[in-house]
Amino acid sequence: MSEAQSLFSVLRQSAKSDIVDAIERLVHEAPDRKLGRVNALAFAAGHGLDDEQTINAFLHASRLGLFDMSWNILCPGCGGVLDANTSLKTVQSDQYTCALCAAGYEPTLDEMVEVTFTVSPRIRHIEAHNPHTLPPLEYFRQIYWGSGVDMPEDDYEEKVDEFLLETLELPAGEKAVISLQLPEGFIIIFEPVTHAAQFIDVKGPPTRERTALSLVFDRGHQHRETLELQPGPVRVTVENHTGGRTLPSVCIANDALHDLLGKRRPFLTAKRILSNQVFRDIYRTDTLGVDQRLKITSLTFLFTDLRGSTELYERVGDLAAFDLVKTHFGILHEIVSAEAGAVVKTIGDAVMATFPTPDRAVIAAMRMREAMRSLNADRGNEDLLLKIGIHEGPCIAVSLNERQDYFGQTVNIASRVQHLATSHEIFATRSVLDDPGASRVLAASGLMPTSHPVALRGITDQINIFTIP
């Protein structure tokens, strides 16, 4: 049995067989370009598989060494990869600049950091393992563009030819000349390895006079001022001052380019992976650096606590109460995981969990409440009464007490909303109820939340709390 066969056999012990079969076919049969930076959500959609189960399978496959995970910083404008990291620990919290879009961005874990999976070279060697050998068009497709840009499969080169005027491979330390006739329009000379760009606004009456330009590519990520030229001949001298190959490319920013980059598809974000229970279980202490502070613009927090747990210990005794509380934790953990969430930590009898979207948190809360009712009914008492609070908003991902955690006012509000909750009702804030998905969930369940203003400790203004009956 080969190493790959052995690892896939192990993978079947922790992931669904149909998903493992699909991944195994991918590894053995797919062309090279489909095995670099695999988009787990696109893979699931293309094979009719469940998103969360597919993500879990790729995470387990990475743990076994079948795939390597990559955390890629994306430009929210063009979808290009500004930086690729083997760990979230090397993602910086300061600004990243996209030369192609001439804009700078502070990275957030919502839509600017994607998580992709590349087959390990031990399992199968692919072209993307040596990106410096890829032809220019394949470098753009496999290395530069993020997995959220939905590149055409059959006519990729034909589509690119509609806006690409010239491209060349320039070895380290060498100089070359690009001679071409500039058409009217907005021209971009772009180098994807160093992320350097020169914009040229070509307009006015055509000229026969040749224009000479000189561009140097290094690792400075420089973007020069836009030049204005007339349509006509141009001679561009390009110099490579890096230690590796560069790929100077000249394109026109026409409808073909905008159409190609405008086709987007969902991709696996860092926010979603951090709220995945399997990821948290596998990478308990190896996610963020101690001093890292990475922003998330929207994350949903759910807090639970048992009402009267002190009286429970007094009434049934420590051992029986411990077993009940442990059972309750197991049920909540299973529900959170099933709804694409993750348990961040337990505090006494309380649980703090995160979800990528409010609707998943609302569904989880209703399932938790029903599960406790069923458990109490089976026991013939109401020993386990759950208080639940939900809030959504921005936060900061941090490493705290050797664990990936969250910090900020959103976390504080979610915790205090839970403290206000009763044992039979779920309390949620307006930001949760304003989410279209959460509203649809409640409407489908025939539930009509009622609101009332409350004052929360440490919060200046009153906020509206919604009671989900």
Which amino acid belongs to residue 73? Answer: I
* Res 349: pLDDT: 87
In this predicted structure, the answer to whether residue 311 has a pLDDT above a threshold of 80 is no
Same domain, 425 and 385: yes
Rounded Cα distance, 110 and 186, in Å: 31
260 falls within a domain: no
Whether residue 246 sits in one domain with residue 168: yes
The pLDDT tens digits of the residues spanning 70-122 come to 999 999 999 999 999 988 888 876 788 888 888 888 889 998 999 999 999 99
Give the largest CA-CA distance in the chain. Answer: 96
The average pLDDT across 37-44 equals 98
* Tokens at 80, concatenated: 């290009």
**pLDDT score at 342:** 96
The angle at the Cα of 322, spanning 320 to 324, to the nearest 5 degrees, equals 70
Give the per-residue pLDDT at 84: 92
388, pLDDT greater than 80: yes
Q: Which amino acid is at 190?
A: F
Count of CA atoms in the C-beta half-sphere (13 A) of 410: 25
In a domain? residue 229: yes
Do residues 442 and 390 share a domain?
Answer: yes
396-418 pLDDT, tens digit each: 999 887 788 999 999 999 999 99
The answer to whether residue 310 scores a pLDDT higher than 80 is no
What CATH number corresponds to the domain at position 381?
Answer: 3.30.70.1230
pLDDT score of 285: 64
- Domain final residue, candidates 148, 177, 200: 148
In-domain check, residue 154: no
Mean pLDDT calculated for residue range 180-205: 94
Extract the tokens encoding 304: 């639970």
Residue with more model confidence, 287 or 161: 161
Range of the domain at 100: 3-148
Percentage above 70 pLDDT, the chain = 97
The CA-atom distances, in angstroms, between 8 and each of 3, 234, 245, 456 are 9, 55, 36, 51
pTM exceeding 0.85: yes
443 and 304 in a single domain? The answer is yes
Asked if residue 262 belongs to a domain, the reply is no
Total count of domains within the chain: 3
Percent of the chain with pLDDT over 90: 74
* Helix runs in 92-246, H state only: 136-139, 156-161
59 or 452: which leads in pLDDT: 59
Q: Is residue 61 part of a domain?
A: yes
Whether residues 172 and 85 share a domain: the answer is no
Kindly state whether residues 429 and 347 are assigned to the same domain.
yes
Task: Give residue 220's pLDDT.
Answer: 73
Residues 133 and 192 both lie in one domain: no
125 has pLDDT over 70: yes
User: Residue 15 domain-assigned?
Assistant: yes
In this model, does residue 158 exceed pLDDT 70? yes
pLDDT for residue 245 is more than 80:
yes
Whether the per-residue pLDDT at 359 is higher than 90: the answer is yes
Average pLDDT over residues 17-34: 97
Is pLDDT at 460 greater than 80 in this prediction?
Answer: no
Claim to verify: residue 305 and residue 387 sit in the same structural domain: yes
Please give the Cα distance from 456 to 417 (Å, whole number).
8
pLDDT for residue 309 is more than 80: no
What is the rounded average pLDDT for all residues in the chain? Answer: 92
Do 305 and 382 lie in one domain? The reply is: yes
Position 269 in a domain: no
Q: Residue 308's pLDDT is what?
A: 65
- 91 and 237 in a single domain? The answer is no
In this structure, are 312 and 461 located in the same domain? Answer: yes
Residue 315: predicted pLDDT:
75
The residues near 200 (Cβ < 8 Å, ≥ 6 apart) are: 182, 186, 187, 188, 189, 226, 227, 228, 229
DSSP 82-120: EEEESSGGG--SS-EEETTTTEEE--BTTTSEEEEEEE-
**pLDDT score recorded for residue 210:** 95
H or E element at residue 333: helix 318-338
**Judgement on whether residues 358 and 438 belong to the same structural domain of the protein:** yes
Length of the chain: 469
Is 324 domain-assigned? yes
Asked whether 185 and 253 are in contact (CB, 8 A), the reply is yes
So what's the pLDDT on residue 171?
A: 96
Cβ–Cβ < 8 Å for 97, 83: no
| Strands 227-229 and 196-202, sheet pairing | parallel
At 168 the pLDDT is 94
pLDDT at residue 456, rounded to an integer: 82
